[in-house]
Amino acid sequence: MSVRIEDLVRRAPGNHDRILLDQVTVDIPDGAFVALVGPSGAGKTTLLRAIAGLDPFDTGRIVIDDRNTNDLSARERNVGFVFQNYALFRHMTVAKNISFGLDVLPGSQRPAKSEIDRRVKELLDLIQLPDLGSSYPQRLSGGQRQRVALARALATRPKHLLLDEPFGALDPVVRRTVRQWLRSLHDQLGLTTILVTHDQEEALDVADRLVVMQDGRIVQDDGAEALENRPATPFVMEFLGETLSFPGRITGGMFLPELPHVAPFPVAGIADGPAAALIRPHEIRLTPEAGGAPVQRAGSRYGLSKLAVDLGDRIVDILVPASEAVPASGVKLHIAAARLFRDDRLLEPTHEARVAAA
Amino acid sequence: MSALTRWSLVGATWLIILIVLILPPLLVLSEALRDGLLTALQTLADPDALSAIQLTVEMTILSVAINTVFGVLAAWTISKYRFPFRGVLVALIEIPISVSPVVAGLVWLLLFGSQGWWGAALDRYNIHIAFASPGILLATLFVTFPYVARTVLPLMEQQGRDAEDAAMLLGASFWQILWRVTLPDARWALLSGVLLTTARAMGEFGAVSVVSGHIPGMTETMPLHIETLYNGYQSVAAFTMAALLALMAMLTVGFRAMFENRARRMAKAGGMEA
């Protein structure tokens, strides 16, 4: 039940210089829950639609369950697909929508009417809408439609589930509930799921693995922890959360920041040269320093105080424990954990910096 | 806007509609019934009149059936695929609306008349198109081509491809998608287009007049027969036939107005879904 994508290339129709998918290779093992993430136009949906067989590609292979999809019809792919706008059949009841995949089976494979009804009821229970079978889609809320679309995709018992921005149109509270429910459904049914989203928080919350895409290429394909600790490029780091960047140089095992009032810190095993230290807003400590950077409270978040530190040519927002006093005389910044980049590539190792600063 | 302005506008609109649209059919009806209902009905029993009614019904059914298929095909192709000169095709579909039907009739004569390009050759095989029913059908087809396509097209554009893609991924074949997803979803617009085609096909005069040759009892449809009767000073017969034709057309348009409302509600519900 695995999906393997090898060297997939797709050029824009009508403009062959624009590459929509650039040598994309991904391996999605049986039972995995993978999120394709990236900004709009990164190629996530293009890739998902290619896997489903909705869009063509120029070169490369898509192998589902060890079978090259070039030889497979949409039905043989054994794939359930949920569209961004749900794409429910608005002239059919919810029950008819759900049973569609069974109703269109050729006579010899189609289950008996009673069997189909039973399956529809089972799915309505599964999506927790047992009484809505006879309603029409336009009577349903966004969250309900989303679940009906999911039930419809699951009716023929596919082993793979492809979801294209399935939570996009839902309000934040419903979103959180539906995605947790989706994750439990994935585990319960033993599905292999590929989710497209531009919301990194959602992806981190629900998927085992994130495939970060940018300009039709895969930038990094890793678990949440690895992405956080060892982002392949500054883009990955910035995409996954608020990021502060401190330009500087590495000289003789020390990182020397360009900006004033930022303390140098030791790094080990990295050649001298220019570098940038990227941190999350909470990965920093303050010490009072006379004539240091002026600092001001700027609200709070997650129970932490947000402080605006004026470093001369720019102001950075950092997060510190709410209990921490704000020195009036000025501060010096101590970077506690940084990922170092040179020419947009991660410099390893970084844990040395962590250990040294701790 | 003051109440006075509003009411005078509403009044003026009604007055114009009354004079231009409602009065003529009423006058036709009163002319038809001048010598009583019985006399009027008797004129319809005339063999030429019956032949004209029959021919009109036949031609209408055939052209509606054929243009429904072509119209759906055209609308579907244009709305679901992107291809070169797509915009040109959309414009071409509307040619029959802008070109005078007489011109269309002449074109068919040019092709199939005995002096025409292919007329003599077809005559040899005893195939008659001009001055016969096939010619009338061709003329009617040309004139009524746009209506189904143009009413269904906007709805199909608005449908997009997602529902069809979803059906395809659920394993539906091309025909299953067309019969179970695309057409049922477009049914009110389709019905509205079919009825518009019906009304137009029944009333077509110009193109049919040119290709039919006006042979009473043979190639005269209702509109042509009305002209023949009127020119022959049989005004009761002419107005009775005219009243019947008007009634048929108005019924069709009435149905259409009913379904149009439903179609609009459907479209609105669809808009909410997007």
With left for phi above 0 and alpha for psi between -120 and 50, is residue A249 left, alpha or beta?
beta
Q: Is B273 within 8 Å of A88 when comparing Cβ atoms?
A: yes
pLDDT on residue B272: 39
Q: Give the nearest partner residue to A104 out of B163, B170, B269, using CB atoms.
A: B170
Residue B200 near residue B68 (C-beta atoms within 8 A): no
Position A357 pLDDT exceeds 60: no
| pLDDT value for B71 | 95
How does residue B263 score in pLDDT terms, banded at 50, 70 and 90? low
Give B64 to chain A, closest Cα distance, Å: 25
Mutate to test the interface with B, among A15, A93, A100, A110 (most CBs of B within 10 A): A100
Percent of all residues in chain B with a pLDDT value above 90, rounded to a whole number: 50
Kindly indicate the confidence band of residue A6, based on its pLDDT and cuts at 50, 70 and 90.
Answer: very high
* Predicted pLDDT of residue B202: 93
pLDDT digits (tens, 9 = 90+) for B48-62: 999 999 999 999 999
Across the interface, do A91 and B184 touch by the CB < 8 Å criterion?
Answer: yes
Q: What is the pLDDT of residue B215?
A: 86
A159, two tokens: 């082993």
Instruction: Taking residues A197-211, report their average pLDDT.
Output: 91
- Determine whether the interchain pair A54/B165 forms a contact, defined as Cβ–Cβ distance below 8 Å: yes
* Domain chopping of chain A, boundaries: 3-231, 242-357
pLDDT digits (tens, 9 = 90+) for A58-78: 999 999 988 888 878 776 788
CA dihedral over A291, A296, A301, A305, signed as positive or negative: positive
Q: What is the mean pLDDT of chain A?
A: 88
Would the CB atoms of A81 and B180 count as touching at under 8 Å? no
More confident residue, B73 or A301: B73
Measured torsion, CA atoms of residues B178, B181, B185, B191, in degrees rounded to the nearest 10: 30
A83/B272 CB distance under 8 A: no
User: Hey, of B169, B183, B264, which one would you mutate to test binding to chain A, going by the most A CBs within 10 A of its CB?
Assistant: B169
A119 touches chain B (CB under 8 A): no
Among B162, B171, B269, the residue with its CB nearest the CB of A138 is B269
Under the banding of pLDDT at 50, 70 and 90, the label for residue B145 is very high
Does A143 lie at the interface with B, CB-CB under 8 angstroms? no
pLDDT at A48: 95
Q: Is A91 on the interface with B (CB under 8 A)?
A: yes
Range of lowest pLDDT (A43-47, A320-324, A330-334): A320-324
Q: Dump pLDDT digits (tens) for A30-47.
A: 999 999 999 988 999 999
Please report residues of B whose CB lies closer than 8 A to that of A109. none
Tell me the percentage of chain A whose pLDDT exceeds 70: 96
Architecture of the A242-357 domain = Beta Barrel (2.40)
Question: Mean of the pLDDT values across residues B179-193?
Answer: 91
Domains and CATH numbers, chain B: 1-32 (no CATH), 36-273 (1.10.3720.10)
A248 touches chain B (CB under 8 A): no
The candidate with the shortest Cα–Cα distance to A92, out of A141, A43, A34, A139, is: A139
Q: Span A3-231: which CATH code?
A: 3.40.50.300
Rounded mean pLDDT of B74-94?
A: 89
pLDDT at A314: 85
Distance from CA of B250 to the nearest CA of A (A): 29
The most confident of the ranges A160-174, B25-39, B102-116 is B25-39
Per-residue confidence (pLDDT) for residue B274, from 0 to 100: 32
ipTM for the predicted complex comes to 0.81
> Is the model's pLDDT at B68 over the cut of 50?
yes
Axis crossing angle, helix A94-103 with helix A113-126, rounded to the nearest 10: 130
- Please tell me which residue, A168 or B218, carries the higher pLDDT value: B218
Q: Identify all chain A residues contacting B171, using CB atoms and an 8 Å cutoff.
A: 74-75, 101, 104-105, 156
Do the Cβ atoms of B184 and A75 come within 8 Å? no
DSSP, res B220: -
Residues in chain B whose Cβ is within 8 Å of chain A: 162-163, 165-173, 176, 180-181, 184-185, 187, 266, 269-270, 272-274
Per-residue pLDDT at A9 exceeds 70: yes
* Mean pLDDT across chain B: 88
Q: Write the DSSP symbol of residue B160.
A: -
The predicted-structure confidence for A251-260, as pLDDT tens digits, reads as follows 988 899 988 8
Residue B273 pLDDT class (50, 70, 90 cuts) = very low
Which residue from A minimizes the CA distance to B171?
A75
